[in-house]
Chain A
Amino acid sequence: MRIWILVLLLLSYVQAACAGMKLEAEYPYHLERQGVHTVFEESTVPLYVNIVNFNNPTPVEAEIKITLPQGFMPVTEGTADKWQVQKEQDKIIATTRWSLPEDYGQTFDLLYIESQEAVDFGEKQVLVEASSGEWQESKLLTFTYEAEQAAAATIGKGKPKVDRKKFNWYIQSITFPVDSLGLKDDRAEAGVIYVRDTSLEGFRNRMTGEGATSWSSVFNHPAAHLLLELRNPQSDVRVLKFKAELVDKVTGEVKPGLCTAGKVDDDAEQGWHGNEEEGSETTALISLDGNKAPRFILPLYIDHLKILEGEYNLRITISGNGQEKRYEAPVTIAKKHSIGLLAVGFAFACLVLVIAFSYKIKNCIYIIGAKGAITVALFAAIAFGGITLPTTILGDLLHVFLGPFSGLVTGLLHGVLQYLLIVSLLVLYRTPGVLSLMFVVKFMLSCLMFGHFSPLGVLSCCVSMVVLEATLYFGGFYKHTHSKENFMLLMCVLLGLADAFITFINLEQMMFFYRLYYADWYLALYMVINGLLYSSIGSWLGNKTGLKLRQVMGE
């Protein structure tokens, strides 16, 4: 143990000894084209400044000073609060102060620099100086200032000369969520961003000893991607700044929830612009390359601690060259609860309930007597022979022709016939547990005759038993010995709804256990037709049949 403490102490000394800062700067800065040192006539190109700090025990202040050559001016519109510009002799100097985070951090920004009209062509220099306490570092960046023709030659020949001040690129559309390739996913509803359920994160962090504050792996994973389509009619070549914020639909006030990845630690993706300010936005740099209809797939990052579910507007701001374009689209923030997992959890809860109440099923046999028990067994046999048997054999055959929609045909048996049998049996023996008894016998029959002995089968059977018994019990079915027609009609609809719910749970379980995909509309279709419609009709027919069969019951 002592050795470990010694090692740790040594390590901390080593870290302190290695603490330091490093300045990085590049001008002109291009996202795609590194190492280009030419600035064309009358263009606006960003200067990239980055300070990497490591092993700082506390946050420190750093001062950055940029000295521009004559005829070059920083564009400070929108960033005036960050950069102060002053003129010293014939040079322009831009200064700012950054707060560098403790331990490790990369603090960076872009300063757009615009060339004036009457500047001589030739080699120029930008001096970038940074200092913090005793540390000082400077970079002298050399570039060539060239005429427009040369730019035309690199981008596209024969273009007319345009007034760059009037470049009017604009936002055509935004689509979200899309996948990382920009494709829309059928399963994902448009305009909805699902936030991952992070309720286990605290537990995870504590278990792995990272403490409750280590969220980097969560934060640096995009919650959704957004497809941004711009129109660039004048084929501008420029780096633009992208900003996405959540704003209140009524007040237009910016709401917390979005964030930018890679502000701390070493896991920031290269090229993404982190903002050291406490912002509620996802920012990024995008590069216009002269294409008239550029498309960008941009990740949106979520601040899992701050985001709240609800309806917002997603405000997209693109800025650069002194221009700013905005676009707003409604967005729904929904927490992604793992429905499949919840469905399975519910099914397990049903299993526990069935086990807990199993003694009641035995009591039920004593209440309904031998005749009742035999009737239930025979009804279950009919259910097995009339539902399980044909759906196992014919269901597969129907699959050949109808595919996943074959269930709508076999559902006639699962819905109409099954509920006809259930309700007619309940009309004959209005006792809690009768329905469960029938399900138990039917399930065991399919287990013994078909080998359908699987966890999914057990869970599905339990779900049906619990949901239907609960519906009947809380619906007041067992309170009376006879029911009026209106009440039975209501009961049938309730059973239909209950079956829709059972259908949903079972399909979710299927998806979970068998890793299958079903579209939401497909689930809805089955719930409405197989669940609500067929089962309600079956229940009603069952009520009618049961009333008739009562006359056959004898004394």
Chain B
Amino acid sequence: MSVRQLWEGTDAAPWIQKLNGRTKLIVLFLFAILTITIDNPRSLFVLFSLTLLLHVAAGTSIYKWKVLAVLLLLGLWGSMFSQALFFAQSTRTPLFVLIESNAGFLGALTGGLYVYREGILYGAVQGLRSASMMSLGLLVCWTSDPRQLLQALLAWRLSPQIAFMLVTAIRFLPVLAAETGEVITALQLRSDSHSGRTAIIRHLPYIAKPLLARCLRRAQTLALSVVSRGFFLASANRQAAMWDWREKFCCITLTLVVAVIVSSKISYLLSEQGLYFGVLRQAYDWTKLYL
């Protein structure tokens, strides 16, 4: 499966392909708000599991599951690693000492660098937030054509000129990638040594100019082409795809649910600061237990 195929939602279950782009983006955004609102590890895990269930329901292919697994595991590992080093709650148990606090300049700068056991667990839990968002984000991308999402943005009154720019950028992404590859090949061919032919990193500084110059020439041609086709008339009467009332209803319901959850969380946080309302006691309890 090619990288392009990976980003085309042709192999997903029809029900999710047919969902309106607006529905997908709203769910994605609300979900992101939920993940940053919730602190409870179990609830976070439930959210994360929910995204995986959605992948199952969407019929994500084995290949995409593998890609998803790699990205999620790497992301979780990143969070665990960073929090293992910077965990700053008590109690904490150092497992390894990376830099002693009295180890010269670095020791003085960092105050010692330790890998804390509790930090690993904490990082794993907090990593569930970004993992959940990545999982759902990829689900949306893998089940939608970029045009579908773009239509959603246009339906939300995105400027036609910006929409044009966006389409242009998406259209030329593979072309630019191929040209970058071509510049790297050129650099390899023009290198004077064997190592120069294999070391891509060494070539990175030289890639920009030929690539950008090519962009400018392309912009010249494309501009001529689109201006003569009425680019700035912009009276575009693009008809947005129908938004099914059931999808709309679900979005409204979900928005309300998220609003309640966020309000509950905010009131709970305020109560911790002393702004406490007796009538909200049950909400506080609920928030403390589940959020």
Tell me if chains A and B make direct contact, with any CB pair below 8 A: yes
Assembly CA distance A154 to B186 (angstroms): 89
Total residue contacts A-B, CB cutoff 8 A: 236
* Residue B45 interfacial (CB < 8 Å): no
Other-chain contact of A370, B78, B85, B223 (Cβ < 8 Å): B223
Q: Which residue of A lies closest to B225 (CB)?
A: A370
Check B159–A380 contact: CB distance below 8 A.
Answer: no
Assembly CA distance A362 to B88 (angstroms): 46
Per-residue interface assignment for chain B, residues 69 to 110, with 1 indicating a CB less than 8 Å from any chain A CB and 0 otherwise: 001001101110111011111110000000000000000011
Check B36–A514 contact: CB distance below 8 A.
Answer: yes
Q: Which of B12-20, B52-60, B169-177, B189-197 contacts A (4 or more CB under 8 A)?
A: B169-177
Check A378–B169 contact: CB distance below 8 A.
Answer: yes
List the B side residues contacting A392 at CB < 8 Å: 71
Check B159–A362 contact: CB distance below 8 A.
Answer: yes
Instruction: Categorize the interface residue count of chain B.
Output: 35 or more
Other-chain contact of B86, A386, A404, A406 (Cβ < 8 Å): A404
What's the dominant secondary structure at chain A's contact region? Answer: helix
Per-residue interface assignment for chain A, residues 382 to 425, with 1 indicating a CB less than 8 Å from any chain B CB and 0 otherwise: 10111000001101110110011010000000000100110010
Q: Which of A91-99, A265-273, A450-458 contacts B (4 or more CB under 8 A)?
A: A450-458
Other-chain contact of A445, B130, B161, B169 (Cβ < 8 Å): B169
Counting chain A CB atoms within 10 Å of each CB, the highest count among B136, B211, B220 belongs to: B220
How many residues does chain A have at the interface if contact means C-beta atoms less than 8 Å apart?
83
Check B172–A378 contact: CB distance below 8 A.
Answer: yes
Q: Which residue of A lies closest to B27 (CB)?
A: A453
Q: Which residue of B lies closest to A373 (CB)?
A: B165
Per-residue interface assignment for chain B, residues 207 to 230, with 1 indicating a CB less than 8 Å from any chain A CB and 0 otherwise: 011011101111110110011000
Assembly CA distance A71 to B10 (angstroms): 100
Task: For chain B, residues 255 to 273, give those with C-beta under 8 angstroms from any C-beta of chain A.
Answer: 273
Question: Smallest Cβ distance from B16 to chain A, in angstroms?
Answer: 13
Q: Which residue of A lies closest to B168 (CB)?
A: A377
Question: Smallest Cβ distance from A63 to chain B, in angstroms?
Answer: 39
Other-chain contact of A518, B71, B78, B82, B126 (Cβ < 8 Å): B82
Other-chain contact of B110, A374, A519, A552 (Cβ < 8 Å): A519
Assembly CA distance A445 to B29 (angstroms): 16
Per-residue interface assignment for chain A, residues 452 to 468, with 1 indicating a CB less than 8 Å from any chain B CB and 0 otherwise: 11111000000000000
List the A side residues contacting B89 at CB < 8 Å: 517
Question: Smallest Cβ distance from B132 to chain A, in angstroms?
Answer: 11
Q: Which residue of A lies closest to B112 (CB)?
A: A186
List the B side residues contacting A417 at CB < 8 Å: 208
Question: Smallest Cβ distance from A517 to chain B, in angstroms?
Answer: 4
Other-chain contact of B146, A381, A399, A449, A521 (Cβ < 8 Å): A449
Check B74–A400 contact: CB distance below 8 A.
Answer: yes
Check B215–A375 contact: CB distance below 8 A.
Answer: yes
List the A side residues contacting B211 at CB < 8 Å: 382
List the A side residues contacting B32 at CB < 8 Å: 453-456
Assembly CA distance A399 to B71 (angstroms): 11
Check B36–A370 contact: CB distance below 8 A.
Answer: no
List the A side residues contacting B208 at CB < 8 Å: 417, 420-421, 424, 541, 545
Counting chain A CB atoms within 10 Å of each CB, the highest count among B71, B153, B212 belongs to: B212
Other-chain contact of B216, A179, A403, A549 (Cβ < 8 Å): A549
Check A396–B169 contact: CB distance below 8 A.
Answer: no
Check B170–A373 contact: CB distance below 8 A.
Answer: no
Assembly CA distance A548 to B206 (angstroms): 13
List the B side residues contacting A554 at CB < 8 Å: 216-217, 220
Question: Smallest Cβ distance from A214 to chain B, in angstroms?
Answer: 10
Question: Smallest Cβ distance from A13 to chain B, in angstroms?
Answer: 26
Check B74–A449 contact: CB distance below 8 A.
Answer: no
Check B159–A374 contact: CB distance below 8 A.
Answer: no
Check A204–B82 contact: CB distance below 8 A.
Answer: no
Check B222–A374 contact: CB distance below 8 A.
Answer: yes
Question: Which 6 A/B pairs are nearest by Cβ-Cβ distance?
Answer: A451-B137, A396-B74, A399-B78, A454-B32, A371-B223, A404-B82
Would you give 18 A-B contacts (Cβ < 8 Å), ordered by A? A181-B90, A201-B274, A207-B275, A208-B276, A370-B231, A373-B165, A381-B170, A385-B176, A400-B81, A403-B82, A450-B138, A450-B141, A451-B28, A517-B86, A517-B89, A518-B82, A521-B110, A548-B209
Q: A451-B137, A453-B137, A554-B217 are in contact. List 19 more A-B contacts (CB 8 A).
A: A181-B90, A203-B275, A362-B159, A365-B162, A370-B227, A372-B219, A381-B170, A404-B85, A424-B208, A441-B165, A444-B166, A448-B149, A449-B170, A450-B141, A514-B36, A517-B88, A517-B119, A548-B209, A552-B217
